[in-house]
Structure 1
Amino acid sequence: MMMARPKGNGAEVGKRLVAAAGRGFRTGGFGGIGVDALAGEAGLTSGAFYAHFGSKAVAFREAVRDGLQFTLASIQQFQENHGPEWQQHFARFYLGERMDADLPDACIFQTLTPDIARSDLETRQVYSGLLSEIISSLAHGFDGDRDRAWAFWSLLTGAGAMTRATTDAKAREEALQAVLKAALKV
């Protein structure tokens, strides 16, 4: 069965393809999903997928970039919308509502950081650059204190990754509440 070409202009189609690749990678990891499944997620043939991305590694890099840019924009939006109280609102959101997202829609830090650590240099450079922007944005909300920004972000993302992997609901809730208290003290 032939899959249809995606409808829309090139930029719109590109965004949809990157979003579909991101969902696929967050669900299966880089090594756990193949090009056929990624193409299927986007409603394309493998040939169309390769025509757009060139390789699975490029698709992964673009999905990483997209996920990190989404995170950065979310942090900035919380800072704008909540002023000095942004940390409390963001921490509660990240360890609450964001943890309820299904795996395909979960935060990239919770789902793909180990895969990024094993990826090619160019992907790790994209990650490093955008992580630096995220920390700078967080630091801006902490009056320029990068130590607080690193501690806050590490607590949230570490707890997110760890508790997403557990099957023990009580332990998950206990850990999330403990980390929320710690993050609010940062």
Structure 2
Amino acid sequence: ASFSIIQELEILIGGLPAFFNNKKVYLPKISLPIFLLLLSFTAGSLFIENVSLASDISKWSAEGKYPYNALGYIKKNPLSGNMWNAYNWGGYLIWQLPQYKTFIDGRMTSWNENGKFFTKEYRLISYDPEKNSGLLNKYLSDYNIRWILDTPESKVIKYLLEKSNQNSQWKSVYEDEISIIIKKQ
């Protein structure tokens, strides 16, 4: 619906320069009220569309690549222990799963302990978990991480599952196109 309205607006707006510049074009005096009415209708339609999008968490979660369906799984199958999560999902997880502590979120970029920035170490692990396996294992152990919620493309996920094939330590319990949950056995 909004696409056809936009097309109509383009036609009307395209005719405005001729209306104002060419004295030979005589449009009825009603053209401006019709234009304003269509403009109001279009603005109202776009507003309603955006409000409905905002109220449909599953729709905007999917469009924003947030793990909405994975959270449905977690709510139906509560997981015990501490979580490791994707950095970009921290705030979303705090909002949607307040009963769980997130491992990291967007507010942590400035956290500094004795000259070490937590997010720097998180990035090192995320970009090359094999090279930084000692640091990864330290965090998994120190924070008692029992499950991980991340993207299927996550190098940490791939590394732990590959390593797990050797010792069956981590197992995938949920996966969709946006997210994966692996759990320590």
TM-score range, shorter chain: under 0.3
Larger relative strand fraction: 2
Q: What's the TM-score, normalizing by structure 1? A: 0.27
Structure showing greater relative contact order (alpha-carbon pairs closer than 8 Å, 6 or more residues apart)? 1
Q: What's the TM-score, normalizing by structure 2? A: 0.27
